Chains A and B, each alone.
Chain A
């Protein structure tokens, strides 16, 4: 093999490629510089401009982290498109229609979304039907239930959610600004960042710990690498998968709730776009579609890149319709890079002898 004859320089280059988040980070920097250049005149680099794409990215990101876990474990979850509105309307109906305390309603919503994830996981592990089909089915089941239950209980598919209290609004759905000084000395750290951005940071940190630091992360990688061997090694593969489906459903519910609190309204509209968006973020972040490999850091960079491309176009003179084209190209490049990476990783020799 040619690689084995490489000098230490080649080996360190290989080590760089062994970290897929390096590729995702490089992509992020390139995209950022690109839009910073073309969007400079239209305030892309201001605090408000940055918040525009960060806010958009955080909502996708909260879901993308657990979806990344599922994809590393070799599964998909597209039911999140319907679980997002489910989370929102349960919260809104609970507080407005039944006058339940917001945090109790929050817990109820989490339990209901978690249950949807549990059903997904049970069906996938019991029947061996591909998770794409199972969650496609539950996507429509939940979407139907959203509208039916919503109309049955409240007579509408749009629920208002007023006055949820200062604390819950602060945590779930508000705009935050941090600045020092006044007048000309004013230093703005961030401006109009939504609560979901901070939740995204929290979810990312938790995700990083679980996947890369805790022993469970090892189980997730093993599950995606070779399920049979993982089971032989004593990993409770079915339970683990069910937990991962519960996590992704709860993350989707959380996003639905932050949206509802922020907009003071919840709708039953199924968010089909979020299904693709979350998968794109994960793939751009270097998670292999075949499972068994990926990082949380990569997914975070993938999400940020996606956010910039999706929102950044508004800061440039390019036609806004081109953002879909950008994302398509981005996804294609990412998939090809991931594939190349896998080739590299499985072909490299063990030592430099």
Chain B
């Protein structure tokens, strides 16, 4: 096989997993750079930055960022991070690489479909980035793309012409890629498990990928449909989302019969389950890492599986909590509120079980373990504010303030990213045969852990003071001027936290230079990806987390170990 067949258009799940991982790495650093530029502008609105002018000659004439460029960066930051980082690494990256290994399958069920799904995703990313260079620049409508702003073209503002169309096409492509992936994951999990690998012996990571795939199948199917409708409103003159009587920028739009709220319903029917798409595989990683480095079985394995499935199902019944103040029927807000708080229960169950897992353990504080324990901390912090926001009476004030920004960055962004870091430090030896530097890793962890709290907790204070989100400038309102120092602190914390991420990049690259090969099972873990590779399909004899079993020869028993042989 030539280079092209082996590394580019590969059908090998391991190569495809790495491709997703590398794509997401590029996306993550791009998205992070955008956020740094946004924070810079918020705190130094008048500063002339040569780099801005070089990158965006129209968006930053003379190096000063315009409001439309700020909103374009914001839209692209959100879109890149949600789709190409949070959706891509946990499922496409780790899932492709490790699902077949962990269930003892030779590859994914449909290797060619797998390749197609990666390349569709990669194409989607290129299409999205091209929005920066078309006339009018990237869209300014936010990653939620609410119509009418997103549906009527450039009359509503810069970036809403070609840039917006490109955004919709990119999202539709991404949805198609995710749907292909979902079918592959579901089929692989159900059909290709090794002998003895019953569903309830699967590692919780596999449960995470499996339930995420099911959620993706329904959620992305709706998003792709919504995207097509939006595209038709934009290009073909339909009125799914446009009511009668619209006059935008003195120009009559001349459509009738549609509803802007319809988009919100469709979008959040995807958008809320998307939160779980981002976090469920991560929860599986955290359970595995905590168990392995506590040398204890996962506490309440069955409760963990039940919680995952419960979240997967109820995740589709809570989308309305994004719409309490949207003009939706106020009675439905009460129903959505009750359902939203109910879905908090399985998340709490998982947290209790994680604490139960480390309780009584023998904790080895490796870098992977630090990220996992840090995950529990930020998951609690981000989750509690969800209880505030899930109540419509409190959302009456907090909706679309910085409190929401702080909340979702903590729970969906930071927690999910911590799980990715835990997964990377844990699996890197298996993926590359090299160990990552533990000292660099720990410095990276501590700086990031303190950094994210310094960025996102002050956002809660800004939200309590009423600071609306998606403002490119805080000078127009008296009450926002009082928050200047608060924002300055967040901005500098963001600079710091972004800078230390290069330690991670350095660690990855440095490890590849190292000549020392990683041992086959460096963490003394139990699951099949660490088993000695063999041409024979593995046979599974036990559950996924047999640590410190009384009477056992050593403190872990791999799933394919037949019995204690005493050797």
Co-assembled chains A and B: no
Interface residues of B (CB under 8 A from A): none
